[in-house]
Amino acid sequence: MSDTPPVLEVRDLNVHFRQDGAETRAVRGVSFTVARGETVALVGESGSGKSVTALSTVDLLPGSARITGSARYAGQEMVGADERLLRKVRGNDISFIFQEPMTSLNPLHTLEKQLAESLALHQGLTGDKARARILELLTQVGINDPESRLGAYPHQLSGGQRQRVMIAMALANGPELLIADEPTTALDVTIQAQILELLRELKVAQGLSMLFITHDLTIVRQIADRVCVMKDGEIVETGPTAEIFDAPGHPYTQMLLAAESTGTPAPVPADAKPIAGTEDLRIWFPIQRGLMRRTVGHVKAVNAATLSVREGETVGIVGESGSGKTTLALAIMRLISSEGPIVFLGRDIQGLKGRAMRPLRADMQIVFQDPFGSLSPRMTVEEIIAEGLGIHGTREGRDKRQMVADIMAEVGLDPATMHRYPHEFSGGQRQRIAIARAMILRPRLVVLDEPTSALDMTVQVQIVTLLRDLQQKYRLAYLFISHDLKVVRALSHKVMVMQKGDVVEAGPVDEIFDRPRTAYTRELMAAAFGAAAGSAA
């Protein structure tokens, strides 16, 4: 590889953003190469400059950006290149796969139309020739029965299928370099493993070079030949993957490699009382058709789910998207309809109506996956955290503002920032705000719905530690929904495995992780921990 020129050669790349008359330097003197047939990983936390670096190689940054230095593709300079050359290279020679396919695919166009646009633009293919190429691409990326999918819209596909379509679009014009920006972050562990395997196969079959951007070092070990570690816009360490993992030289790299949620939660108190439980809970959604809206069938979201959670205990609920995890938790909180007993604080709440349920709402709270989406951008942090107090009232006649200050300090936020708005905080800080909003009411049960999946590894560790500390201090009961099995193991006492609405396995965390009984659980463990799963510790 060393005798041939690199596909991409970046030298002393700098990116400045102009805003309100001032300039911010987002990328500082970055240099690296991607050889033919090589996969180079850019790793680092959010805000380290990874995506900005990748986008600047073909000038896809907004007009407020000023790029200096050099980014050469196949010997051609891209920095400052004329628009005609950039249009020829973008999507043709260099293609991108982004993190969230739903924001990259047009919701109003069918898959065939979206793939056909690219083929017509770059290759002039239309009609039957375009359709044949589209079917070939969809087959390559593992879409079953591709002909039946041509008329489908993005919302009709699963997350994994949408990401496969994005890969098909990226490969449509036979690129030499594929830039994959966090392409598996939003996917279940089994789907993630499939997408990584697909990318490896395509790389070999088509001789692709790849620039892979991620904050997940587990993925880097699986897919990359070389690693460039970025921090504050600079590359602080680079080298072969095995070398970086076995003997990291920079303190920041050492910190990233050490940032894995480990340990176990505190034991459940011996005198712990039951907080919530279900028995054979069923959640079926009717399928109604015709003018009279007659029920012709049901979507069986959850079948006969039985669980119990005590004070100071965490029940982890795992399974692929669509398995019924979140649906089950929402039913327990009486936010959707279900059939079967739901016992909360010793009382069957299944039949309770709105007014009867209201006094119990303060005792059951939820923290969502995306803190930015669940926090109102128009409200200050103080207003967000205190919102529940306005509904349920303050306990013990305490001052509302002081309660906000106290809970902010408890979750690791500076109370002096309570006047600020969500966009002024980092992702980890926003998740702490969401946790503070739930905890200020001193609930007995907290549903944690993927609360760490959108966060960097180092921030994940901080949030897991915070949740464990709060649980031990207040004897909180958690229902923890996640596809990240390493975090589940670090936080949970018991685990429930769900597949297509059924509870396929449940038991103590060590039993499920070390001695999984069902093939499905073994598949989940293998995807998360590698082939040695089943004895993964």
3-state secondary structure 297-322: EEEEEEEEEEEEEECCCEEEEECCCC
HEC readout, 31-60: EEEECCCCEEEEECCCCCCHHHHHHHCCCC
| DSSP string for residues in 61-124 | S-TTEEEEEEEEETTEE-TT--HHHHHHHBTTTEEEE-S-HHHHS-TTS-HHHHHHHHHHHHH-
Cα of first residue to Cα of last residue in the chain, in angstroms, is 38
- Whether 441 contacts 362, CB under 8 Å: yes
Q: Which of 499, 508, 95 is nearest to 328 (CA)?
A: 499
**What's the rounded Cα separation, in Å, for the pair 245 and 248?**
6
**What's the rounded Cα separation, in Å, for the pair 60 and 156?**
29
Rounded to an integer, the average pLDDT of 314-330 is 91
**What's the rounded Cα separation, in Å, for the pair 67 and 81?**
11
Structure token digits, residue 61: 């940054």
Which one-letter amino acid corresponds to residue 282? Answer: R
pLDDT at 262: 77
At CB < 8 A and 24+ separation, what contacts does 518-524 make? 521/497, 523/190, 524/189, 524/190, 524/318, 524/319, 524/485, 524/497
- Whether 256 contacts 457, CB under 8 Å: yes
Rounded to an integer, the average pLDDT of 214-232 is 91
432 pLDDT more than 80: yes
Q: Which of 171, 167, 163, 207 is nearest to 188 (CA)?
A: 163
Q: Which of 151, 120, 148, 152 is nearest to 133 (CA)?
A: 120
pLDDT at 394: 63
**What's the rounded Cα separation, in Å, for the pair 468 and 225?**
37
Q: Which residue has the higher pLDDT, 496 or 158?
A: 496
Its sign, for the CA torsion 116, 204, 181, 453, is: positive
pLDDT at 186: 67
**What's the rounded Cα separation, in Å, for the pair 11 and 389?**
55
What's the pTM value of the predicted model, to 2 decimals? Answer: 0.79
pLDDT at 274: 97
**What's the rounded Cα separation, in Å, for the pair 401 and 381?**
11
395 pLDDT more than 70: no
pLDDT at 405: 95
What confidence tier does 531 reach under pLDDT thresholds 50, 70, 90?
very low
What confidence tier does 504 reach under pLDDT thresholds 50, 70, 90?
very high
**What's the rounded Cα separation, in Å, for the pair 131 and 263?**
52
2 pLDDT more than 60: no
Residue 85 burial (CB < 10 Å; 0-12/13-18/19+)? middle
- Whether 104 contacts 98, CB under 8 Å: yes
Rounded to an integer, the average pLDDT of 491-518 is 95
Task: Give the single-character DSSP code of 323.
Answer: S
pLDDT at 533: 41
Strands 177-181 and 94-97: parallel
Structure token digits, residue 395: 């306990």
Rounded to an integer, the average pLDDT of 28-44 is 96
**What's the rounded Cα separation, in Å, for the pair 336 and 322?**
16
pLDDT per residue as tens digits for the range 465-478? 999 999 999 999 99
User: What φ, ψ does residue 83 adopt, rounded to 5°?
Assistant: -60, -35
Strand order in the sheet with 177-181: 94-97, 177-181, 209-214, 39-43, 226-231, 234-240
Which one-letter amino acid corresponds to residue 102? Answer: M
3-state secondary structure at position 128: helix
Which one-letter amino acid corresponds to residue 109? Answer: H
Q: Which of 172, 233, 188 is nearest to 45 (CA)?
A: 233
431 pLDDT more than 80: yes
Q: Which distant-in-sequence residues (6+ apart) come within 8 Å of 280 by Cβ?
A: 304, 305, 306, 340
What confidence tier does 397 reach under pLDDT thresholds 50, 70, 90?
low
